[in-house]
């Protein structure tokens, strides 16, 4: 699976954000080197910044404050 994940990331422009996120998750957990795991983690950060609506909304207490 690492090989497939690397292929997706190598051609990131031609794959959906969902597939790139999945590939990054695989490499963050199972990458062979620290650098590979860290690069995948950083790419996830970039993708999260690109689509901030994917993050859960902050919880609101009963008085309407965050």
Question: 10-residue block means of pLDDT along the chain (66 residues)?
Answer: 90 89 93 94 88 62 56
The residue behind tokens 């695989």 is 26
Structure tokens at 12: 């990131």
Q: What is the pTM of this model?
A: 0.72
What span, in angstroms and rounded, lies between the C-alpha atoms of 37 and 55?
22
For residue 61, the model assigns a pLDDT of: 59
For residue 41, the model assigns a pLDDT of: 94
């Amino acid at each position: 699976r690492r090989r497939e994940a690397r292929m997706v990331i190598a051609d990131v422009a031609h794959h959906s954000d969902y597939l790139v996120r999945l590939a990054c998750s695989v490499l963050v957990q199972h990458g062979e080197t620290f650098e590979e795991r860290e690069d995948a983690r950083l790419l996830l950060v970039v993708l999260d910044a690109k689509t901030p609506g994917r993050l859960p909304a902050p919880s609101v207490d009963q008085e309407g404050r965050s």
